[in-house]
Structure 1
């Protein structure tokens, strides 16, 4: 009898030990899978981000080296778009790395990062509208261009775009419920938009602002495109430049469509969740990569390689066939 009791006790101890071992082994496998997933995601994003930064640096250096670009409003607006997209990708990649590494930041650093990410996202649409209007002005007022659309006064157009874009995120943050006793330096949080702007009224406000932005910009691009198409039919001379302007406005419409892909994230997450067994983190990364990063990477590349002047200088720079240019600004 004593032997049977001892045997049962030994079996129970072995069972619980094995159960504890299996639990720890499963937990270890989960940690390894998570670590491997994080490494893969970082290795996908960082090289692409470095290539993008290098290409943008080359294009901005070309702008600074040639006076012809600095004297043209269209190229100045394009340079603004590249700077804006660089700030957005830089802030979003920093937030991505913090989330991947589970790094918690003080509110003092987290909130400005989110402001930059949101403000530059909205500013992209406004710059596209300004670039379309610039094409419209250059076609219909070639000799008597309004003062604000000249290269030396284009800052009158650019400055309000940046102010408007960053005003709305500040308002969105202000209408939320925040704890007054929170120390912005000592309170560390995982920096996500859902944590900072989590109230329902902020969600409604964000939706209304985004719809308003994209509706206004869509109307502007459609208006300029239709007007240029009508002008193309009337003109007998210089049809080539008008046709080129029409295709440029159409390209801005395509860029706006790429920006609109960001709003398909909730739908994509729901569809992927229904038809696949992906983890929530993998679905979020897929949407971030496809709907946030890729459109921003493609936008300056498409525009840069389409423009013949830029294409020539970019080709010379990458092929090392031209002498090193001295910057125009000293």
Structure 2
């Protein structure tokens, strides 16, 4: 009887996990559809891809799409315990490492753009020109690549040739052979966290001072920019907490496997999916110009309000 109860309990847990995986697939599909619609809207109007803040917005959308797709594939492979060769897992790791940092670094750049627009309006056209934007995108990708380059440089010195042709369940922890490597990755993440949070807070304080002195339309525009910075800060916080999740999960894996599964699922929903759905809210829905264009194309031209762009 006890055996039957144990089997039934195991089947119940498995069914619950299956439901969670299906729920994640629905969320990922919905977010990918929304982001794809936003990307299509971005490319339909010249004004959007000649304006720095919208270009950076599109970078976050593309980054989020790639990140959601790859993490979802990794989730499915991990759930079904599907093994792949380590050289292919290494490619997945490089993509994930880049796009883990790309979104928060881009959000920081978008916050700086709002700071320039509000606090240095006379210099905005020069500092945020298309040429400057292209340089900014290169810098963003360079900064986002650094953690991956550091971790992989250490890994390549430690890994043997045979490691690359081994087959195993793909995970980030596979590329960390010693504890100090994990501590180094944690230190890099925390350093990025401190720098980006400091920039967000500094921009918030500067914009707040301008908001208090502004009047009329300027005041309205400034407070709107301030709310955008706050949302960027919240989104950035969720993205950066995600960098700490692997260390929490690794500790739980050693103590309670079921708790590890539940916490990992919670972390995926809260710190991976949730931040990626905030970008459409911040610029896709709150930005009146972009929202009007979005409604126009989403409704196949039935939305008749003229697009002032």
TM class, shorter-length: 0.7 to 0.9
CA RMSD of aligned residues (A): 3.2
Runs (5+) with no aligned partner, structure 2: 305-309
Distance in 1 of aligned mates of 2:203 and 2:192: 17
1:298 aligns with 2:282: no
| Runs of 5+ consecutive residues of structure 1 not aligned to the other structure | 1-18, 325-330
Distance 1:73 1:114, change over 3 A: same
Measure, in 2, the Cα distance between the counterparts of 1:312 and 1:69.
13
Whether 2:132 is the aligned partner of 1:132: answer: no
Q: How many residues align?
A: 301
1:122 aligned onto 2:105: no
Kindly indicate which of the two structures has a greater share of residues assigned to helix. 2
- The alignment status of 1:309 with 2:266, answered yes or no, reads no
- TM-score in terms of structure 2 length: 0.85
CA distance in 2, matches of 1:299, 1:70: 17
User: CA contact under 8 A between 2:104 and 2:236: conserved in structure 1?
Assistant: yes
Residues 129, 220 of structure 1: 8 Å contact kept: yes
Q: Residue 238 of structure 2 contacts residue 275 of structure 2 at CA under 8 Å; is this kept in 1?
A: yes
Aligned to 2:187: 208
Q: Which protein is bigger by CA-based radius of gyration?
A: 1
Separation in 1, partners of 2:292, 2:257: 47
1:48 paired to 2:27: yes
Structure 1 residues 241 and 58, CA, compared in 2 at 3 Å: closer, same or farther?
A: same
1:62 aligns with 2:26: no
| Superposed displacement of residue 98, structure 1 | 0.6
Query: Structure 1 length normalisation: TM-score?
Result: 0.80
- The yes-or-no answer on 1:229 pairing with 2:208 is yes
SS at match of 2:162: coil
**1:42-91 deviation digits (Å, cap 9, x = unpaired):** 21111111111111111011110011111211111111111111221112
Q: 2:230 aligns with which of 250, 253, 262?
A: 250
CA contact (8 A) 1:71 1:152 kept: no
